Amino acid sequence: MSSETGTGALTETPAATAVFTAVLTEGPLSRVSLARRLGLSSAAVTKAARPLIEMGYLRELAATERTGPGAGRPASPLAVQADREFFVGVKITADELIGVVCDLCTEVRASAHRPLSDPSPGAVLAEVALLVEELLGGPGGFRERTRRLGIAVSGDVDRDGGLVRYSPFLRWRNVPLRERAAEATGLAVTVENDVKALTTAEHWFGEGVGAESFALVTVGTGIGCGLVVNGRLVSGSHGVAGEIGHIGVDANGPDCHCGGRGCVEAIAGTHALVRRSRECTGRAGLTLDEAVALARGGDEDVRAVFARGGTAIGMGIAAVANLVGPARIVVSGEGLAAYDLLGEHIRAGFERQAFGAAVECPLSIRPLPFEQWARGAAAVSIQSLVAL
C-alpha cells in the first residue's frame, strides 16, 4: 500500500485480499462459505488461501459440519493465526503517549503510557521510540514478530503521504510523521487520523463488522466522526470528511477555534465544558473531574452545561444520520466517562433533529479508554498488511 513504508503487503491478488480480509474480520469461515460470500469458486478460494496457510497467517480448524445434504467430508474452517505477527499502536495526545501491542485479531497483549512534557515533533518522536522499545523489549517475545507501527493523531492527516498537515492540539503543521517515525523505530509505519483509526478498528473488529454503512462519533477534547459508506472508510477529497465537531448548531453560540460560531465542539468539547462550568461557578481553576462531581452532586447550573453539550452532540449526530443514513451509529470516546450527564441529552438532541426514518437509526453509546485509541492505530497497521 502507498501508506506503508519498508514492508510489502501480505496479499498479492484481489482474491487473496478478499479471502484474508473476510477470515480476519468475520472468521472462522469454511471455503464454501467464503466462496459464497465473495462470489468466487471453491478452487479460487483454495488457491488464494494456500500461500497464506503456508506462511502461517491462516490455519485450518478441525472439521465441523458438512457443507450440505449428501456432501462429502465435513468442512474445515479457515481461521487467522493471531500470534503470527504483532503490531504496535500508538495514540499521541497533547500530554501523553499511549501504546499497545496487538496480535492479528487486535487483542491487546501489552500496553504502556509515557507522559509528554514537550509536544514538539522531535521530542514526541524520541518518546515514541522509547515507548516502542519498552513495549517490544518487555515480556511476551513480541520483537521478532513485529514489523509494523500504527500511529494515531488528531487533526488533518494525509494517510497516503504519512503527513500530519495540521494537528491543533499538538500545534503541528506539515510534519512528515511516517518518515520520521520509521527512522526512529526501524518499523514500517502507517499514520492516520485518530478518529479514522478508531473507526477502522470498529469496522474490522468491532460493532461495524459486516455493516455496509455506519458512523463512529467520538466525544472528548474534540468531537469527531468516522464514516463507513459502501463498506469503505470515507476520507473525502480533502481528507477531513466527518468533522461533525465543526457543524454549527447554535448561531448565537460561542466562538470556535476553527473560526466558526456555535460549533458542536465549541459547546460540547472538554475545554468548552470546563470553560463554561468555570463561568457558572466563578471557580477559575475548576477541572473537568470537579465539574462532573458538582453536576452529579446536584449543581443545576453545571448540570445545564452538560445538558447543553449533550444536546449539541445529538444534533450533530442527527446531521450525520440525515445526510448519510448509516445502518448504526456508535458514540464513544473518553468524554463519555460523564455518560450519566450526557447520554439522555445526546439521545434527545438526536431524536429532535433527525429527519423521518433516520430517527430509527440505533445509537450505541459507551465510554472508551485511551488504550482503545491505540488499538485503533494498531488496527490501521494491520489493515496495511493487506493490499486493499
Closest CA to 147 of 314, 318, 18, 10: 10
Question: Concatenated DSSP letters for 288-311?
Answer: HHHHHHHHHTT-HHHHHHHHHHHH
CA-to-CA distance for 221 and 235, rounded, in angstroms?
Answer: 21
- What is the phi-psi region of residue 284: left when phi exceeds 0, alpha when psi lies from -120 to 50, beta otherwise? alpha
Give the global pTM.
Answer: 0.85
Query: Is residue 114 within 8 Å of residue 130, measured between CB atoms?
Result: yes
Domains of the chain: 14-80 (1.10.10.10), 85-200+372-383 (3.30.420.40), 209-368 (3.30.420.40)
Closest CA to 81 of 108, 54, 46, 100: 54
Query: Is residue 327 within 8 Å of residue 213, measured between CB atoms?
Result: yes
Residue 170 DSSP class:
T
pLDDT of the chain, 388 residues: tens digit per residue: 334 444 566 877 889 999 999 999 988 999 999 999 899 998 999 999 999 999 999 999 887 655 444 455 567 899 999 999 999 999 999 899 999 999 999 999 999 999 999 999 999 999 999 999 999 998 888 999 999 999 999 888 988 899 999 998 899 999 999 999 999 999 999 999 999 999 999 888 988 887 888 899 998 888 889 999 888 888 766 656 677 889 999 988 899 888 889 999 999 999 999 999 999 999 999 999 999 999 999 999 999 999 999 999 999 999 999 988 888 899 988 778 888 899 899 999 999 999 988 888 888 888 777 889 999 999 999 998 885 4
Closest CA to 180 of 92, 87, 86: 92
